[in-house]
Amino acid sequence: MAGILERYRKFYDFGDDFPIISLEEGNTPLIPAKKVADAVMQKSGKKGIRVFLKFEGLNPTGSFKDRGMTYAVSQAVAQGHTHIICASTGNTSAAAAAYGARAGLKTLIILPGGKVALGKLSQAILYGASIVEIDGNFDQALDIVRDLGATGKVCIVNSINPYRLQGQKTGAFEVCDALGEAPDDLYIPVGNAGNITAYWIGFKEYADKDITRKRPRMNGYEAEGSAAIVLKRKIEKPETLATAIRIGNPASWQAAEAARDESGGRIDSVTDDEIVAAYQFLAANEGVFCEPSSAASVAGLLKASELDQVKDNATIVCVLTGNGLKDPDSAIKFGNPERAQLPADSAQVAEFFKL
Ligand SMILES: *Cc1c(COP(=O)(O)O)cnc(C)c1O
């Protein structure tokens, strides 16, 4: 299966000689989630709800960022750049480093020190990127990237690069292709607010071209400790264990509000406890291992169910943005503590398992 730029080539205007840098990203599964649907119906009293998980953790570097990075890095090559640069809470840097390596570019990465999950950092290191951890948060890292980008010596591959969103819109295309129609509701985590913006671009494009008849309500969820859009103000010191959405000044703030308003959706927040509960529920009941930030979409859906914000017979898609293996520390911290170290002895093991 080809990557997203080849599969959806007719939705782009690049020519035959465009240098596509791809790891065959996209084509991720849309997994039915009956246990989540049952929980939604139980909490809301509504009937006929269908829930699907768009599991973006199965992209080549383990997050949806690959969809945008294939296009941004291909453009960087087409424009003759030798260096790409990004600020990152982790997944953007992993994707940039991978596609940068494949393209033969030098990848420069600025990270909020001590706030990047282990899996993401290890990826950037092995892909060979040059990495600076700053004593500061993501928003400050992005400010530095903007400064260095202004020198003209490096190509910025954060989502302020418009090609990123144009690549990420293919997530919406795939959802519609799999369902045969747009869903009624999309639930999605919101950090820098690029992905909610990109999905809305994709859903609108399919409806405008009459590939689908309707457009979904866009429901975005920030973490409570970094809920700038919900609170209508920048958060100077964003805090949440969902590090991928630990962003206090979202770059696509206005575009995300437009997606919300044009679609009749909402942007709300979920607490870290709600995020962890959804993270555990998905793993233990659906067998789906996403990272904590990704679970904000399902946490949002469960919150909306309690607030009577879901409708009878709705088809709902929750985007799970990244793979759980990215963040082994959280899995061990919040996973089932029923574990033991025992001698190699059948009787003792049987006793521990209560067999
Ligand atoms: C980047 C990222 C987000 C946030 O996406 P935005 O486009 O910044 O809103 C959410 N979850 C994961 C796993 C991510 O990597």
φ, ψ for residue 252, nearest 5 deg: -105, 35
* Cβ atoms within 10 Å, residue 222: 30
Q: Which of 53, 55, 120, 192 to mutate to test the pocket of ligand 1 (most atoms within 8 A of CB)?
A: 192
Cα–Cα separations (whole angstroms), residue 162 to 11, 58, 257, 260, 339? 15, 24, 17, 19, 47
Query: Closest ligand 1 atom, CA of 189?
Result: 10
Measured by CA distance, the residue closest to atom 15 of ligand 1 is 91
Distance CA 235, CA 306 (A): 27
- Going residue by residue through the chain (355 aa), what tens digit of pLDDT does each one get? 799 999 999 999 999 999 999 999 999 999 999 999 999 999 999 999 999 999 999 999 999 999 999 999 999 999 999 999 999 999 999 999 999 999 999 999 999 999 999 999 999 999 999 999 999 999 999 999 999 999 999 999 999 999 999 999 999 999 999 999 999 999 999 999 999 999 999 999 999 999 999 999 999 999 999 999 999 999 999 999 999 999 999 999 999 999 999 999 999 999 999 999 999 999 999 999 999 999 999 999 999 999 999 999 999 999 999 999 999 999 999 998 899 999 999 999 999 999 9
Residue 324, helix vs strand vs coil: helix
Closest atom, ligand 1, to C-alpha of 291: 13
Residue 218 near residue 229, CB atoms below 8 Å: no
Q: How far is the CA of 18 from the centre of ligand 1 (A)?
A: 28
Please report where in the chains the tokens 């600020």 appear, as a residue: 87
Instruction: Kindly give the number of the ligand 1 atom that is closest to the alpha carbon of 191.
Output: 9
344 alpha carbon – ligand 1 mean position (Å):
44
Residue 284's alpha-carbon distances to 28, 54, 288, 298, in angstroms, are: 21, 18, 8, 14
- DSSP state string for 20-57: ----------EEE-HHHHHHHHHHH---S-EEEEEEGG
- What is the atom index within ligand 1 of the atom nearest the CA of 251? 8
Q: Residue of the nearest CA to atom 13 in ligand 1?
A: 322
Report the nearest atom of ligand 1 relative to the CA of 90: 15
Pocket test for ligand 1, best of 195, 240, 243, 323 (most atoms within 8 A of CB): 195
Please tell me the distance from the alpha carbon of residue 221 to that of residue 315, in angstroms, as a whole number: 18
Q: Would you say how long the chain is, in residues?
A: 355
- Around ligand 1, the residues with Cβ closer than 6 Å are 63, 65, 91, 159, 189-195, 244-245, 291, 293-294, 321-322
What is the 195 CA–ligand 1 centroid distance (Å)?
Answer: 7
Q: What is the whole-number distance in angstroms between the Cα of residue 192 and the centre of ligand 1? A: 7
Ligand 1 centroid–CA 242 distance in Å is 10
Ligand 1 centre distance from Cα of residue 134 (Å): 20
Per-residue model confidence as pLDDT tens digits over 193-208: 999 999 999 999 999 9
Identify the residue whose C-alpha is closest to ligand 1 atom 8: 192
With the CA atoms of 12, 184, 248 and 149 taken in that order, what torsion angle do they form, in degrees rounded to the nearest 10?
0
Protein residue whose Cα sits closest to atom 4 of ligand 1: 191
Closest to 291 in 3D by CA, of 22, 58, 30, 36: 58
